[in-house]
């Protein structure tokens, strides 16, 4: 059982390690924050030693800017960070493009190749995550459909991260989606989904108030999904990736109680 550090803003990195270790988690998914990978890794490795809580996975920076370079800097930074903290996987998103011929898609492909070269023989693998459609057109982006994502991952020797909330937002039954990709999944982003309108259709507000909610607060059959994982003897990581507003991060006692409940939910 793992917790995404992106769920615990505005805690310090040490606070995230401390709270999750006390709650009984087995590891963390470290979200790259735009800091120099060497500096962030030095801090994370120090806290891993202090709290005996390893970084299992690294996730690319969630707040990245479009690049004019011939590569995507945030993907390479995530790979470097994963190497430095000895993570098992680095999680990346699909390209923000509709055609492989587009400049954005070509940059993404070049960067993917650079990542694989950097990670070669390190033991760190790339886990491509199913995407979250923030508007109707997003469903037509490259690799937005699970069968396409699965085929691309097989062709390029990639693993997959399966996000339950993203699948639901794309109109996919999470159990049907799981059956499509389960043999390739090494990391599950577990959260609930509340389909409700947000002002102006804001992607940011949707991510905070509708997506990535606490298990049991939304419409997803997460108990059934959890039993399915147990029946299949799933051995990969299960990572709670939640909206920071779904957790009481401003109250240490309440946060500690909630994190302990989440760890127990995942392990029961």
Domains of the chain: 2-267 (3.20.20.150)
- Could you give the residue ranges of the DSSP H alpha helices within 71-190? 73-85, 103-119, 146-155, 164-169, 174-181
Q: Say what the pLDDT of residue 200 is.
A: 67
Q: Say what the pLDDT of residue 234 is.
A: 96
* Phi, psi for 30 (deg, rounded to 5): -90, 115
For residue 140, the tally of other CB atoms under 10 A from its CB is: 10
How far apart CA 19 and CA 151 sit, in angstroms, is 38
Q: Say what the pLDDT of residue 204 is.
A: 66
Within its chain, how far is the Cα of 164 from the centroid? 11
* Phi, psi for 5 (deg, rounded to 5): -65, -20
Any idea what the Cα angle at residue 115 is, between residues 20 and 150, rounded to 5°?
80
Q: Say what the pLDDT of residue 237 is.
A: 96
Beta bridge partners of 4: 29
Q: Say what the pLDDT of residue 34 is.
A: 81
Question: Which helix H or strand E contains 240, and what residues bound it?
Answer: strand 237-240
Closest by CA position to 170, among listed 116, 129, 205, 131: 131
Q: Say what the pLDDT of residue 70 is.
A: 86
Q: Say what the pLDDT of residue 105 is.
A: 96
What are the average pLDDT values for consecutive 10-residue runs of the chain, which has 268 residues?
A: 95 97 97 92 98 98 73 94 98 96 96 97 97 88 97 98 95 97 98 83 71 94 95 96 92 94 84
HSE-CB of 140 using CA atoms within 13 angstroms: 5
Q: Say what the pLDDT of residue 45 is.
A: 98
């Amino acid at each position: 059982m793992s917790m995404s550090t992106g769920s615990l803003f505005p805690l310090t990195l040490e606070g995230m390690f401390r709270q999750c270790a006390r709650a009984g988690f087995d590891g963390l998914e470290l979200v790259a924050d735009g800091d120099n990978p060497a500096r962030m890794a030095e801090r994370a490795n120090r806290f891993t030693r202090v709290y005996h809580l390893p970084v299992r996975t690294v996730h690319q920076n969630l707040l990245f800017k479009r690049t004019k370079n011939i590569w995507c800097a945030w993907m390479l930074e995530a790979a470097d960070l994963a190497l430095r903290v000895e993570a098992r996987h680095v999680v990346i998103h699909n390209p923000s493009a509709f055609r492989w011929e587009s400049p954005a898609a070509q940059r993404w492909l070049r960067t993917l190749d650079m990542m694989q070269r950097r990670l070669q023989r390190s033991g760190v693998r790339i886990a491509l995550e199913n995407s979250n459609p923030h508007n109707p057109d997003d469903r037509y982006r490259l690799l937005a459909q699970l069968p396409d994502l699965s085929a691309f991952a097989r062709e390029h020797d990639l693993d997959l991260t399966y996000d339950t909330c993203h699948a639901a937002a794309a109109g996919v039954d999470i159990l049907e989606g799981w059956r499509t990709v389960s043999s390739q999944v090494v990391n599950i982003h577990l959260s609930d989904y509340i389909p409700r309108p947000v002002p102006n259709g804001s992607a940011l507000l949707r991510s905070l108030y509708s997506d990535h909610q606490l298990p049991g607060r939304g419409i997803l059959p997460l108990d059934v999904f959890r039993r399915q994982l147990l029946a299949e003897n799933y051995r990969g990581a299960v990572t709670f990736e939640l909206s920071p507003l779904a957790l009481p991060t401003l109250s240490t006692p309440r946060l500690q109680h909630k994190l302990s409940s989440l760890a127990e939910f995942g392990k029961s």
